[in-house]
A and B are shown apart, each in its own frame.
Chain A
Amino acid sequence: MDLTIPDHEQSFREEVRDFLARAMTPEIREAGRLTTSVFAPVKQAMDWQRILHEQGWAAPHWPREYGGTGWSVGQRTVFAEELVRAGAPPLIPMGLQMCGPCLIGYGTEEQKAHYLPRILSGEDIWCQGYSEPGAGSDLASLKTFAESDGDHYVINGTKIWTTYAHHANRMFLLVRTRRDGKPQAGITFLLLDMATPGITVEPIVGLDEVPEQCQVFFDNVRVPKANRVGEENDGWTVAKYLLTFERGGQDYAPGLGVQLEQLKARARRQATATGSLADDPLWRRQVADCETRVLALSFTEQRIKSALSAGKDPGALSSMTKILGTELQQRVTELAVDTLGAQALLWQPGALVPGGGEAPLGPEYALTTMASYLNARACSIYGGSNEVQRGIIAKAVLGL
């Protein structure tokens, strides 16, 4: 056992830092600061992806033959940490983190050749058609039906909580292709073009007044069977593979660490009658409580990656990091709201739009604090609610 960081990782960190300092434009930095969700403002996020893609760094975790970097697990961690420290807006995950790995795992050669380069370059923006009004945590009960008609499927039904469907030109989705038998056994994984006739997208305004989510309606939407990933009725296998990425593909600890540092800096500027909030023992205890949990999580994430490097499947442990990471994220945003008190009530959505030109009537962070807190309430719901994740741990790890 040792914590030694290999020399090449240290020098790699320098290389990444230099690149980020050079490559992040003021617009991208602003978008990073104003991001109050896991989904960054779409225009700047895609601009940033194109810059990273030119450098060959848009999808470090993909195999090299498909445009990945060939980095070690350690290098990938360094890269992710430096992105967070630099305040870069996160890349939109539906293509790079979800659809891409699925295609690499289960797509045909034609699908891979066609879609993967367009995911990398940002030419395509993807959305994920999983949840339905009647199928949330119980995803397998989904009802959107794809009727076979020659070499096409004809889709009818609706999807909900489809993030950025109003920005996307592609969707990967789960549809029902068989009504009898086990619910999981009648599901098929499809790719579609959002411009196909019969698709209606209705944005849903969230607590933060941002239309991040959408409901999508399908009215006799024809999709070529060549757009199927995996076998008919075997889409559940592909979906589960993807969910593992969605839940465990990211590290939470580096971002949480940065947020806590920012919070401490803000507390130093909050004057109390006797000093600053940063000196208040009760406030310090709250922060220390979060920091000790983040320290534990960061080592848990390291342990999981160490197992990954050794070729082990982390399996249900991705459920654990999803629960711990999202619940800490919620706690840290909550503490941020408490730290600002009434100052956090300032509500100026116009000033949160990058390049919008509206000046904030207070510190910029006073604007993002509440929006982040509101948005973070979703963390424990999406990607399989944390209750579902606890159920997975109980079954898969504890054998209950």
Chain B
Amino acid sequence: MNFSLTEEQQMLADSVRRWVRDGHDGEARRRDKTRRPLDAALWRQFAELGWLALPFAEDDGGLGGGPVETLVLMEELGRGLVVAPYVPTVVLGGGLLRRAGPAWRERHLPALIEGRLQLALALDEYERVFAPENTALTATAEQGGYRLDGRKALVLNGDQADALLVLARTGGVPGDEHGLSLFWLTPDQDGVSLAPHRTVDGHTAAKLTLERVHLPAEALVGEPGGALAPLRATLDEALLALGAEAVGALSVLLDDTVEYAKTRRQFGVPIGDFQALQHRMADMFMALEQLRSLLLAATLKVAEGHADARRAVHALKARLGLDGRHLAQEAIQLHGGMGMTDELAVGHYFKRLTAINGLFGGADAHLAAFADA
């Protein structure tokens, strides 16, 4: 058992950290409240730095990295609170393409890796608790293909994506694990409407409405009715990536809080002298270390294909929702009134963590899934 990074992984961590520090004006981006289009220069840099190639096989033009490399990248991006569609495009979209067979990989991965293809996965639906098998949006077989009707909520990066992967039901009823299929569609197709919106954390998404969208049979990604298995494997990777981002963000919240407690003076002393606050910061420290342990456990188990890997992913997401949320709430409380302002970074980290906790099932759902696994 070994928990150290290889030399290459360490170099990756250093390079991301350097870029976050020197090459990325996170604060300026935070202050910009308009739903600006994706900073194309930023995405180009991601491509040039090789980050878009990270999780793809060398045969597909990638760097052959795995979950550990993604962890290294995402933790640093989390530390820097970098707003970029890495998870929607590379982890989710790329993850599904990786699992969709050679034709899909050949057709789309080169563009994705070069930064010319943005993706989005349309998964959540309005008034349906998150679970892939809970999907209701229908894809009805018709002459030469399928007709899609329905709505998808909170399509992450749906406002920027060049193509969308839509989870639809080609058979069965909501709740069934079979009958789920994935479709590739582009926003310009007839019957597709996207209503872009901001999300609470400064990212962007869209509401997707499909009305009599006719797709050719070739738009089906993977096996008809067999989308659940590749989707779940991809979601595991997304949960790990978000977990790493969250751990990076939480480490900043702890550091900022401790720093603030050392400098903010009340009653003639730094507030960090008060035992009531010291113990709460000690608890924040322990929560962070426990989450880091779960992140490593889940990431390594997925990377090595352990039988209990998914159980560890559930544990990570559940504890993030319980302990990570509490840590972030404590960070605001210990910053006092300043923690409530848009000016300080604390609140922005808090909102990103809140968003991560809400994505792809919350703490209760993952705790229940952990118990059933």
Whether chain B is bound by chain A comes out as yes
Interface residues of A (CB under 8 A from B): 1-5, 74, 281, 284-285, 287-289, 291-293, 295-300, 302-303, 306, 310, 320, 323-324, 387, 389-391, 393-395, 397-400
Query: Nearest chain-B residue to A327 (Cβ)?
Result: B286
Residues of the B chain whose Cβ atoms lie less than 8 Å from the Cβ of A390 = 278-279, 282-283
Q: Would you list which residues of chain B between 281 and 320 have a CB under 8 Å from chain A?
A: 281-283, 285-286, 289-291, 293-294, 296-297, 299-301, 304, 306, 312, 315, 318-319
A324 to chain B, nearest CB (A): 6
If A1-B296, A292-B367, A306-B1 touch, whether A300 touches B279 (CB-CB below 8 Å) is no
Q: Which residues of B contact A310 (CB under 8 A)?
A: 4
Q: Could you tell me the distance in whole angstroms from the C-beta of B330 to the nearest C-beta in chain A?
A: 13
Docked-complex contact A1 and B4, CB < 8 angstroms: yes
Rounded to whole angstroms, the CA-CA distance of A215 and B355 in the bound complex is 55
A-B contact pairs, 20 of them (CB 8 A): A1-B2, A1-B296, A3-B1, A74-B1, A285-B367, A288-B318, A289-B322, A292-B315, A292-B319, A296-B319, A297-B290, A299-B294, A299-B297, A300-B289, A303-B293, A390-B278, A390-B282, A394-B279, A399-B258, A400-B281
Interface on chain A toward B: helix, strand, loop, or mixed SS? helix
Residues in chain A near residue B364, CB distance under 8 A: 285
Scan residues 342-373 of chain B and give those whose CB is less than 8 A from a CB of chain A.
364, 367-368, 370-371
Asked whether, in the complex, the Cβ of A320 is within 8 Å of the Cβ of B258, the reply is no
Question: What distance in Å separates the Cβ of B270 from its nearest Cβ neighbour in chain A?
Answer: 8
Give CA–CA (A393, B254) in the complex, Å. 13
A320 touches B289 (CB 8 A): yes
Whether A292 touches B318, Cβ cut-off 8 Å, given contacts A1-B68, A299-B296, is yes
Interchain CB contact under 8 A, A1 and B282: no
In the complex, how many angstroms separate the beta carbon of A11 from the nearest chain B beta carbon? 16
How long is the Cα–Cα vector from A289 to B286 in the complex, in angstroms?
16
Distance A287 CA – B367 CA, assembled complex (angstroms): 10
Cβ of B35 within 8 Å of any chain A Cβ, yes or no, is no
Query: Which chain A residue lies CB-closest to B291?
Result: A296
Nearest CB of chain A from residue B232's CB, rounded to whole Å: 19
Q: Which of A281, A296, A391, A398 contacts B285 (CB 8 A)?
A: A398
A284 and B371 contact, CB distance less than 8 A = yes
B285 near A300: Cβ-Cβ < 8 Å = no
Given B261, B283, B296, B367, which contacts A303 in the complex, CB threshold below 8 Å? B296
Q: How far is the CA of A185 from the CA of B319 in the complex (A)?
A: 44
C-alpha gap A394/B281 in the complex (Å):
7
Residues in A with CB closer than 8 Å to B296 are 1, 299, 303
Contacts of B306 in A (CB 8 A): 3
Closest CB-CB distance, A292 to chain B, in whole Å? Answer: 4
User: B290 touching A300 by the CB < 8 A rule?
Assistant: yes
Interface presence of B129 (CB below 8 A): no
- Find out whether the CB atom of A393 lies under 8 angstroms from the CB atom of B282: yes
- Knowing A300-B289, A399-B258, say if A5 contacts B1 (CB, 8 Å): yes
Query: In the complex, what's the smallest C-beta–C-beta distance from A81 to chain B, in angstroms?
Result: 13
Q: Is the interface of B mostly helix, strand, loop or mixed?
A: helix
Query: Bound complex: CA of A389 vs CA of B282, how far in Å?
Result: 9
A296 with B315, Cβ < 8 A, contacts A1-B5, A324-B286, A400-B273 known: yes
Residue among A3, A287, A303, A324 having the largest count of chain B Cβ atoms under 10 Å:
A3
Assembly CA distance A387 to B276 (angstroms): 10
Given A291-B370, A400-B262, answer yes or no on A303-B3 (Cβ-Cβ < 8 Å).
yes
Residues of B36-60 whose CB lies within 8 A of A: none
Q: Which residues in B have their C-beta under 8 angstroms from that of A299?
A: 293-294, 296-297
Which residues of chain A come closer than 8 Å to B367, judged between CB atoms? 285, 288-289, 292
Also in contact, A387 and B279, with CB within 8 A (given A296-B315, A299-B293)? yes
Interfacial chain B residues near A289, Cβ < 8 Å: 322, 367
B-chain residues with CB within 8 Å of residue A297 when the two chains form the complex: 290, 293
Q: Mark B1-15, 1 if CB is under 8 A from A, else 0.
A: 111111001000000
A400-B1 in contact given A295-B294, A390-B283 (Cβ < 8 Å): no
- Of residues 235 through 258 on chain B, the ones whose CB sits less than 8 Å from some CB of chain A are 258
B132 CB-CB contact with A under 8 Å = no
Q: Which of B1, B299, B301 contacts A4 (CB 8 A)?
A: B1
User: Are B293 and A296 in contact (CB-based, < 8 A)?
Assistant: yes
Rounded to whole angstroms, the CA-CA distance of A306 and B5 in the bound complex is 13
Residues of A with C-beta under 8 A to B319: 292-293, 296
Q: How far is the CA of A285 from the CA of B9 in the complex (A)?
A: 37
Q: Is B275 located at the chain interface by the 8 A CB criterion?
A: yes
CB atoms of A288 and B371 under 8 A apart: yes
**Which residues of A have CB within 8 Å of B2?**
1-2, 4, 306
Taking CB atoms, residues of chain A closer than 8 Å to B293 are 296-300, 302-303
Rounded to whole Å, the gap between the CB of B363 and the closest CB of chain A is 10
- Near A by CB (< 8 A), chain B positions 154-178 give none
Residue contact A394 to B289, C-beta cutoff 8 Å: no
Asked, given contacts A2-B2, A320-B289, A398-B258, whether A295 binds B312 with beta carbons under 8 Å apart, the answer is yes
Is B93 interfacial (CB 8 A cutoff)?
no
Judge whether A3 and B301 touch: CB under 8 Å.
yes
Nearest A residue to B299 by beta-carbon distance? A1
Residues of A within 8 A of B261 (CB): 400
B347 to chain A, nearest CB (A): 22
Name B368's contact: one of A281, A320, A389, A391 (CB within 8 Å).
A281
B262 touches A293 (CB 8 A): no
Find chain B residues with CB under 8 A from A3 CB. 1, 300-301, 304, 306
Distance between Cα atoms of A289 and B314 in the complex (Å): 11
Q: How far is the CB of A13 from chain B (nearest CB, A)?
A: 14
Cross-chain contact of A320 among B286, B304, B370 (Cβ < 8 A): B286
Complex Cα gap A284–B294 (Å): 20
Q: Are A292 and B3 in contact (CB under 8 A)?
A: no
CB B47 to nearest CB in A, in angstroms, measures: 26
Give A284 to B369 CA distance when docked, in angstroms.
Answer: 10
CB distance from B172 to the nearest CB of A (A): 25
Cβ B272 vs Cβ A400 within 8 A = yes
Task: Known A281-B368, A285-B368, A400-B258; judge A293-B5 contact (CB<8 A).
Answer: no
Top 7 nearest A-B pairs (CB, nearest first) are: A299-B293, A394-B278, A393-B282, A296-B290, A390-B282, A288-B371, A292-B315
Report the separation of the CA atoms of residues A5 and B294 in the bound assembly, to the nearest whole angstrom: 18
